Amino acid sequence: MPYSDFERRLLETYFSVVDGPEHADIYLVRNLPQEVAATLNGVYSRSSKSMRDQFLDRLRQGLQAQGKQLEDLPLAGAAQDTLSAVMADKSGQFLKTYAIDHGHNSLREGSVVHLAVERVSQLVTRFVQRERRCSFEESSTRYISFTAETHWRDPEVMAAGGDLAKGYDSVLQSTFALYQNATERLLTHLQKLRPLQPGEKEAPWLRTLKAEAFDAARYLLTPAIFTKWGMVADARVMSDIITELKSHSLTEFRLVGECMQREAEKALPTLLKHARPNPFLQALQQALPALSQELGTAATPVHRGAAQGHTQLLAFDPNLDNRLLASLLYEHSQQPFASLLATVQAMTQGQRQDLLNKVMAARGPHDAWPLACEGAAPFEFEVLLDFGAYRDIGRHRKSLQQQQTLTTVHGFAVPPLMEQAGVLSEYTAVLERTAEVQQQIAARFPHAAGYVAPFAFLQRVRIQFDPRQTAYFIELRSGPEGHFSYRQVALDMFAHVKRVSPLFAQFIRAKEGGAFLGRLDSEMTADERRQRRMQAAGDA
């Protein structure tokens, strides 16, 4: 049945296409309250009607319950509030019945919320950003200088008073003071070491030198330092995050969870009501540390002073090259995987090389590896690296990553620039004092002590990357513009992959070799590239 003129004008507000074609009728759903949009998504599987018709039906039902007609709705201006008043109760009841009471969690994924999270610690930030299913954008320690002494002071440590509270506070003050001092000295050193050349633009030159200085100076920042970030997540993920935060033993985590729930409920009043502390998660936080103590695995010998990180290969697929080739062929074959694997295994090394050459020949500089390259057992690494570098590696959430409780017992990394700029003795002295205080706090408050374990200190992390993600990580993070610490991790991973899967490794575009001010070339041409993109967008 054709829409009336009023229905058509109403639908145009919320749907980008009103009368679609016979095939591929695709349209944007817009301007709807989140839970109304989720409801429309949810009823798809229970009705043969289009989303536009479902919208009109549910709107009529809501208006009839109020003794009104469709034509009573205002068309001018933003009608979201009116729509919410008419449809929210009905949508909320539907979502409560199916998404909450019946556990149809896919309905929660139809509601998305965008939160800005500001003035929270790096410690709670890293905890939240482990979540693989949402998007984050955070203030960069490479491009932003932290100028204000804004740190989280854990209330339990502060309430304990005495040497613990004084030590906690002294760490924050001494590390941040040297961070600010070192930033200026490192930049001055770099300006002398690599002055502006004739014909170069000053702005990109200065951006590059500042990034290099910040990369080294940030090793003095602590996880207590405040940061800010934006996140976009659906209601299902948001509920899980809030539950984890509200179940945590640290006060800040619970406060952040409560604040996130309060604000997100303004957009999702139904779907987050049942996010509450979880007894099982709370029990795990008690049981696992106790078991580790019982088994004698909680402690390790203390390394004092500077230390070197390393990357160890724990596990890999010994038949990886053959399995990946069979996986690439699988979707274009009618044979069982075992038969394809046998075919590939019967080939000579030269034939396998030729086959992969043909597959990868057309891959451009920005093309992703084929999805089939996930079709083998993952590489499993254990990495001892500074926390500053792990903050970047942790963004590769398409993986299993386990980070041990933040500590200072493994020693600290020393950025080469610290020694070159004459800051090494002060850097070492501050971090050695910090390690003593952090370990004293950890004896009584093991989790809160993480707030005062500066980015320089080495942490042990277990990482599982499937082959495709391994290749992507190595190609991206080995770039000369990358941070020197995670760049070394990427190159170490590449060396392990070359040793155990040489055919696969041939096609990984690792950027080996040294890099000094590796961002300089790209920064010098950044403005021109930006202008070309803007011009192209304008032409389009």
pTM assigned to the model:
0.84
The answer to whether the CB of 471 falls within 8 A of the CB of 464 is no
Say which residues have a Cβ less than 8 Å from residue 360's Cβ, sequence separation at least 6. Answer: 507
Mean of the pLDDT values across residues 324-342? 96
pLDDT given at position 143: 67
pLDDT for the residue 91: 47
pLDDT tens profile 351-382: 999 999 999 999 998 899 999 999 999 999 99
Q: Which residues pair with 306 in a beta bridge?
A: 412
pLDDT tens digits for range 406-446: 999 999 999 999 999 999 999 999 999 999 999 999 999 99
Q: How far apart are CA 148 and CA 37, in angstroms?
A: 42
For residue 526, is pLDDT > 60? Answer: no
Is residue 1 over pLDDT 80?
Answer: no
Is 217 strand, coil or helix? Answer: helix
pLDDT band at 525 (very low <50, low <70, confident <90, very high): low
Pairing state of beta strands 135-138 and 226-234? antiparallel
Please name the helix (run of DSSP H) or strand (run of DSSP E) that holds residue 465, with its range, or none.
strand 458-465
The confidence score (pLDDT) of residue 78 equals 42
**Res 446: pLDDT:** 95
Residue 295 has pLDDT above 50, yes or no: yes
Q: Where are the domains of the chain?
A: 5-110, 317-374
Pick 437 or 275 by higher pLDDT.
437
For the segment 108-127, the average pLDDT, to the nearest whole number, is: 87
Angstrom CA distances, 509 to 369, 479, 498, stand at 11, 10, 12
214-236: pLDDT as tens digits: 989 999 999 999 999 999 898 88
Residue 466's pLDDT band, with cuts at 50, 70 and 90, is: very high
Query: How far is the C-alpha of 457 from the C-alpha of 388, rounded, in Å?
Result: 8
Structure-model confidence comparison of residues 402 and 68, the more confident one: 402
Q: Which pLDDT score, from 0 to 100, does residue 535 have? A: 60
Percentages (nearest 5) of helix, strand, coil residues in the chain: 55, 10, 35
Mean pLDDT of the region 185-194: 94
139: three-class secondary structure by DSSP: coil
Mean pLDDT calculated for residue range 102-112: 60
pLDDT tens digits along 169-181: 999 999 999 999 9
Predicted confidence at residue 530, as pLDDT, reads 57
